[in-house]
Amino acid sequence: SGAITLDRGYKNSGSCLSEITFLDGEEGILRYRGYSIEELAEKAHFLEVSYLLIFGELPTAEQLKQYETDIRKYTLVNEEMKNIIDGFPKTAHPMGVLSALTSALTAFNPKAVNPDNPKELYESVCKIMGKFLVIATWTYRKTMGYPLNYYDNTKGYVENFMNLMFHLPTEPYKANPIIVDALDKLFILHADHEQNCSTSTVRMVGSSHAGLFASISAGASALWGPLHGGANQAVLEMLEEIHAHGGDTEKYLAKAKDKDDPFRLMGFGHRVYKNFDPRAKIIKKAADEVLSTLGVDDPILEIAKKLEAAALVDEYFVSRKLYPNVDFYSGIIYRALGIPTDMFTVMFAIGRLPGWIAQWKEMRINKEPIGRPRQIYTGHAFRGFVPVDKR
Ligand code: CMC
């Protein structure tokens, strides 16, 4: 054992070698397997991107068709899972339910996948891609008290998401293609982001050779927090609060700068980006487009823009290189699409799933050792035990 280097929050530690995602935080560049995020968001579809992340190359038309078919095969969720959902109160947060249900999938799929067996691995990938989408929407159906929907094999993956969420037995439902396209793009933008908190969690849990589903469940729990994926819900709640207080953005900027006030400007700042988050740029443009195409006039969007403009010229934010991140505008689009606020982080999770899977797979294939950081002990030196009657 040598000297231990302290690196709180692993700000300067590389935990692995990875071929999946390239991120340059100074320049604001993000690429999946070499392809720029801008080009993928514009030209590719979410399932195509998930294949790219997980298997390393863009699929051929034939591979993509097969992949979609194979995912479809696994979209039936065990009926007993419904009993588990029924055990939750209606008021439960969908992220807690999602993490628990993903963990529960291990009970119905107990065999640990062998990552060195390509066929077994491929089947597990399709299985989690199929089932996770369905249970993610069930968390919403539960809070609404609606009957649970099944995957419709005649529709695509993202269209199915809308259908699973919003189809009611009493009225036929047809997802708006504009909404499906916007969601597809949002899922692509969230699909991977190298060693972020939830992905590192997936790798850490998986490094003990716990199964894929157990690792993904842990990733969902990590994503839930407001400093990570939970920020998208927190941003919208913050914008609504500012709106309710007459749109006074200056007051909230002052609060964010006040070191005695725990309030932070949600959706601002990033561990790695010290420049514009490239995803935020695309999402801001998409928010404008989606709202105008759907004819939605949302005062919240104006508040967000005002807040962003003021922060970008404010010395506090400029000197700390705090820019809008992926979560700043995404919630405004979700809201325009009719997604309830407490489902925003679930949306992030659906998008991030391919990244979690790809990183888990790479970790196992590269035979990474168990994750086990050290510490610098700051507690008591040796003390003799004092019996209870002498304390
Ligand atoms: N509002 C006000 N001050 C901030 C903010 C903010 N949003 N973000 C960072 N700062 C300040 C922070 O107080 C610190 O100031 P000082 O140097 O005076 O102590 C400085 O900027 C550096 O911040 P940090 O907390 O040391 O940076 P970090 O890398 O540990 O944290 C972060 C990164 C994303 C957790 C943080 O910026 C934050 O809390 N942002 C708000 C939550 C958020 O939007 N999270 C989403 C992240 S992006 C995608 C995702 O993971 O979902």
CA distance 27 to 25: 6
Distance from Cα 270 to the centre of ligand 1, integer Å: 6
What is the residue type of 235? V
Q: What is the pLDDT of residue 369?
A: 98
As given in the structure block, the two tokens for residue 312 are 């970008």
Distance from Cα 226 to the centre of ligand 1, integer Å: 11
pLDDT band at 248 (very low <50, low <70, confident <90, very high): very high
CA distance 51 to 59: 7
Q: What is the pLDDT of residue 315?
A: 96
- For residue 362, give every residue at least 6 positions away whose Cβ sits within 8 Å of its Cβ, in sequence order, or none: 16, 18, 19, 20
Q: What is the pLDDT of residue 173?
A: 87
Q: pLDDT averaged over the chain?
A: 95
The total of other beta-carbon atoms located within 10 Å of residue 146's CB is 15
CA-closest residue to ligand 1 atom 21 = 320
Task: Please tell me whether residue 324 adopts helix, strand or coil conformation.
Answer: strand
pLDDT band at 1 (very low <50, low <70, confident <90, very high): low
pLDDT > 90: percent of the chain? 94
Indicate the burial class of 288 (C-beta count within 10 angstroms; 0-12, 13-18, 19 or more): middle
Q: Which atom of ligand 1 is nearest to the CA of 197?
A: 51
The mean per-residue pLDDT over the stretch 176-191 comes to 95
Residue 88: DSSP 8-state: S
Q: What is the pLDDT of residue 110?
A: 87
Could you say which of 93, 192, 270, 342 is catalytic? 270
Task: Please tell me whether residue 145 adopts helix, strand or coil conformation.
Answer: coil
CA distance 345 to 351: 10
Q: CA separation (Å) from 107 to 81, 104, 112, 125, 134?
A: 10, 5, 11, 17, 17
Q: What is the pLDDT of residue 2?
A: 75
Q: Which atom of ligand 1 is nearest to the CA of 328?
A: 44
**Predicted-complex ipTM score:** 0.97
- Identify whether 277 is a catalytic site residue: no
Distance from Cα 20 to the centre of ligand 1, integer Å: 25
Number of helices and strands (H, E) in the chain?
Answer: 17, 3
Residue corresponding to tokens 């935020």: 280
Domains of the chain: 34-225+343-365 (1.10.580.10), 231-336 (1.10.230.10)
CA distance 35 to 30: 8
- Choose which residue among 186, 193, 224, 227 to substitute to test ligand 1 binding: the one with the highest number of ligand atoms within 8 A of its C-beta: 227
Residues 324, 352 contacting (CB under 8 angstroms): no
The mean per-residue pLDDT over the stretch 230-242 comes to 94
Cα torsion 335, 40, 136, 64: sign: positive
pLDDT band at 278 (very low <50, low <70, confident <90, very high): very high
Q: Which atom of ligand 1 is nearest to the CA of 348?
A: 52
Q: With a cut of 60, say whether residue 305 has pLDDT above it.
A: yes
The mean per-residue pLDDT over the stretch 88-110 comes to 95
- Identify whether 152 is a catalytic site residue: no
Q: What is the pLDDT of residues 329-363, one digit of tens each?
A: 999 999 999 999 999 999 999 999 999 999 999 99
Instruction: Report how far Cα 76 is from the mean position of its chain's Cα atoms.
Output: 23
